[in-house]
Structure 1
Amino acid sequence: MPATVYYADMHCRSHDNSKIAKVARLCDALNLKKIIKKKELAAIKLHFGEYGNDTHLNPTLVRQVVDKIVEAGGKPFLTDTTTLYSGSRHNAVDHMQTAYAHGFAPSVVHAPVILADGLYGENDQPVRINGKHFKEVHIATEIRRAPAMVVLSHFKGHEMAGFGGAIKNLAMGGAGVRGKKEQHATHVSVSDKKCVGCAKCVKVCPQHALSMKSKKSVVDIAKCIGCFECITVCPEKAISVDWETEIQPFMERMTEYAYGVVKGRKKNICYINFVLNVTPDCDCAPWSDMPLVPDLGILASTDPVALDQACFDLVSKAPSLASGLPAAEITDKFTARWPNTCGTVQLAYGESLGLGSREYKLKKV
């Protein structure tokens, strides 16, 4: 049976049809009272954005979800997990300061920020899943302990996953440092011919896996955790992975982690995706590139696979912005931007795991 995906487009000519009003209507459509019990703690899982990124979720819109959870009788808090790379969210203190700098202060959103995996990302709990890659996954403690959860995701591109929505938010965002390492478990290589010895990669590597020898960058595979910060900063594209052999397993590992987050608690989780500012990169980038398509809407569901599929379909049908892609009309905008990726792997594999269904019916609100 197709899952229901609620959809609010971006047309607006009155206050009653503003983005704020649409988020409130989507929360009503999800019927939060069925998901969140009275006086129950409710996590709002989101991404606060790396410092310097300005296309992360809008705190004003997040505030509407907070208010609706309170209206349903719950006690909301905002949450995320620490990063592998050494940016502005590598520990709990820096992460919270970044959240506040981006407008997610309690005075604005009316809810506290509580990071789910402790000071250094070391707090996690094992969950048995018996998957292809993992028999057990390690989920951030407070993500797992939260009685209910509303997952808010900025739907956008990603250099390895193709695109990131609810599934990726659950997977990477639901894991502490150990879980992130297990998902990435992919190693890079450096081309001597392309490397110009700028050492930018050496400076950003959180594990000190890269060093300079004879004015060339070299990688210590034993130390590499596959966070790909080096790939992001390399101006010569001298650092890469074996895309043919590494990407599919990475996507599957990621999806198994998403399954681990929701296992045994699907009735207590719902999802809202914001198909706004659909940038090529994820919000972990300390910048925001031009969007690939116009703003398309806000969608919600209790099924993360159906929700991401619906968002992907909307982006596929939308006109490309010439500034973001090499051609005006391209169906798979994400593969066009990241040619070695195939984002739909997470949808197909997620469906096979029982994470959700790719079949959906769109219902406008």
Structure 2
Amino acid sequence: MQPAYEGRRNTSEAHWQAIREHGFAAIAPCDLMDEQGDMPLPVEGGFHLRENYVGDHLKNYGSMLVLSHFKGHAMGGFGGALKNMSIGVASARGKGHIHCSGGPFTKMQDMFDADHNSFLESMADADKSVMDFMGRENIVYVSVANRLSVDCDCDANPHEPEMADIGIFASLDPVALDQACVDAVYASPDPGKAALIERMESRNGIRTIEAAAELGLGSRSYELVSLDE
């Protein structure tokens, strides 16, 4: 299958090597969900997508923990639960499909030339398909807001973080969770937050949260409950 991106994880073998190097294989069973192919999930009432392509192995699971590293992103503005459930769950073909909002994807440059806001909305479309397939009651979301670089972990040379860690957030609502993380960045007293805020605003990152809320995937309103150590 054609890889969606260049880099250290553009083949199954390279993925497995990264898994071993990071120690994941030593502590838990690991699965490349699209290693044997992918499958389409229907998108009902989406902005752009009519189907979303995910790894075929997704059908083997009855529940999902979406564990995300909240940080900036060169295209999405930020990456959190919604991006992880869309791009992260998508197969190699699915990643290009989302980036190009269902349009042609023949080379990596197509992703950078595609309409930007349509890409942000297409991530919300993909989220809806996964939530509908898994059942919303079967998904839990946890986002770790540490090492808050303006760049994603997929970047081979991410910029060093300029602000301090914020904490760990959890919810049954991915929209509320991403909104809470974004709000926490703005509310931080750390002046280093300026770089991450500029990245989020310059990429209109909030549009993914808005689109997900408009699709009924959750609420942008929330109650923040702090747990004592």
Counterpart of 1:116, as a letter, is M
Question: Which residue of 2 is the match for residue 175 of structure 1?
Answer: 90
Cα distance in structure 2, aligned partners of 1:309 and 1:128: 23
User: Residue 309 of structure 1: SS of its match in structure 2?
Assistant: helix
Please list, as runs of the form range in 1=range in 2, the aligned pairs for 1:100-179 lying within 5 A after superposition.
100-106=20-26, 109=27, 111-118=28-35, 122-179=37-94
Name structure 2 gaps, 5 residues minimum: none
CA 1:315–1:227 in structure 2 vs 1: closer, same or farther (change >3 Å)?
same
8 Å contact from structure 2 (residues 73, 199) kept in 1: no
1:342 to 204, 219, 228: 204
Cα distance in structure 2, aligned partners of 1:351 and 1:338: 18
Cα distance in structure 1, aligned partners of 2:200 and 2:3: 22
Answering whether residue 127 of structure 2 is matched by residue 258 of structure 1, we say yes
Counterpart of 2:182, as a letter, is F
Answering whether residue 222 of structure 2 is matched by residue 353 of structure 1, we say no
CA 1:285–1:133 in structure 2 vs 1: closer, same or farther (change >3 Å)?
same
8 Å contact from structure 2 (residues 186, 197) kept in 1: no
Answering whether residue 16 of structure 2 is matched by residue 86 of structure 1, we say no
Question: Which residue of 2 is the match for residue 276 of structure 1?
Answer: 146
Cα distance in structure 2, aligned partners of 1:311 and 1:338: 12
8 Å contact from structure 1 (residues 334, 343) kept in 2: no
Deviation at 1:125, TM superposition (A): 3.2
Counterpart of 1:90, as a letter, is N
Deviations for 1:19-52, whole angstroms, at most 9, x for unmatched residues? xxxxxxxxxxxxxxxxxxxxxxxxxxxxxxxxxx
Cα distance in structure 2, aligned partners of 1:141 and 1:222: 22
Cα distance in structure 2, aligned partners of 1:222 and 1:277: 34
8 Å contact from structure 1 (residues 85, 227) kept in 2: no
Name structure 1 gaps, 5 residues minimum: 1-81, 187-220, 229-240
Cα distance in structure 2, aligned partners of 1:83 and 1:308: 28
Q: Spell out structure 1 runs of 4+ moving beyond 6 A.
A: none
8 Å contact from structure 1 (residues 130, 136) kept in 2: no
C-alpha RMSD over aligned residues: 2.3
Cα distance in structure 2, aligned partners of 1:284 and 1:293: 20
Residue correspondences, number: 222
Answering whether residue 110 of structure 2 is matched by residue 226 of structure 1, we say yes
Cα distance in structure 2, aligned partners of 1:158 and 1:104: 23
CA 1:137–1:296 in structure 2 vs 1: closer, same or farther (change >3 Å)?
same
Question: Which residue of 1 is the match for residue 181 of structure 2?
Answer: 311
Cα distance in structure 2, aligned partners of 1:350 and 1:145: 26
8 Å contact from structure 1 (residues 156, 279) kept in 2: yes
Deviations for 1:110-164, whole angstroms, at most 9, x for unmatched residues? x111111115xx3223324231212222222223441011110000001111101
Please list, as runs of the form range in 1=range in 2, the aligned pairs for 1:311-330 lying within 5 A after superposition.
311-322=181-192, 330=194
Structure with bigger helix share is 2
Deviations for 1:292-332, whole angstroms, at most 9, x for unmatched residues? 3211100101110100100111111113454xx7xxxx4xx
Deviations for 1:88-114, whole angstroms, at most 9, x for unmatched residues? 2112221011111012122xx2x1111
Cα distance in structure 2, aligned partners of 1:255 and 1:91: 26
TM-score (norm 2): 0.88
Cα distance in structure 2, aligned partners of 1:339 and 1:315: 12
